[in-house]
Amino acid sequence: MRIVLSNSARKKMKNKINIKDLGLVDYKQTWDLQESILKTSVNNKLKNKEAENIFLLCEHPHVYTLGKSGTQNNLLISDEFLKKINATYHKINRGGDITYHGPGQIVGYPIIDLDSINIGVKEYVYKLEQVIINVLKKYKIESTRLDGATGVWLDTDKPSVRKICAIGIKVSRGVTMHGFAFNVNTDLEYFNYINPCGFVDKGVTTLSKELSKDILSIGEIKSQIIGEFKKEFGY
């Protein structure tokens, strides 16, 4: 028996997202998981089936990742030093340059079909940025975008301009992967070993530093992100 879904039922399916908190997890393992989910979603689209929208949240052990448009020279340390600081390094298939992931940083990987929510890539990135901007407002921190760069920034009109959230994505047949990295309790020392996102004249900060607190609840802030993500994207 063939089941035909009503338009309202289809709309409900499109407005649902499966959110998974992976905790602290190896970068390559999560990258492979994203690739697997994206492949399934794209195959479903090609067969005119619904693509499941999934939002992965996690932290990673110390790792540097270089986007396909990045420059190797923006990694400022040797392989030997990478081992010394217990970090790994991967060249990956997202846009953007080099960035750092580590404990205390909330990383979000939305794997969603942009066609299902009727937005393009530019609007998608804008909405991702807005999610973090809205979260920061809850902590009375004003943030914004920076012309010519993705991500979320503080004090863009001052010499002290600094990034608090990096964004780098890949889109295949309208399905996204990779995402954002929001510095909460991140050890900023690890950013000294790269030119973050290729910049040599801009700083990096964390939410805990901006609030003058030693450590913040990752679980609490993940909940704030999930709430703002659902509101911004209509899930």
Q: Note whether 134 and 228 are within 8 A (CB).
A: yes
Q: Distance between CA atoms of 160 and 209, rounded to whole angstroms?
A: 14
**Residue 196 has what DSSP assignment?**
G
Angle, alpha carbons 199-200-205 (nearest 5°): 75
Query: Of 143, 142, 130, which Cα lies nearest the Cα of 228?
Result: 130
Query: With 0-12 CB in 10 A as exposed, 13-18 as middle and 19+ as buried, what is 233?
Result: buried
- CA 19 to mean position of chain CA atoms: 14
Q: Give the bridge partners for 89, in sequence order.
A: 64
Query: Of 215, 223, 212, 220, which Cα lies nearest the Cα of 104?
Result: 215
**128, 197, 204, 225: the active-site residue:** 197
Q: Which residue has the tokens 């299902």?
A: 116
Q: Distance between CA atoms of 113 and 60, rounded to whole angstroms?
A: 25
149-154 vs 144-146, strand pairing mode: antiparallel
Q: Give the bridge partners for 138, in sequence order.
A: none
Residue 58 annotated as catalytic = no
Catalytically active residues, by annotation = 197
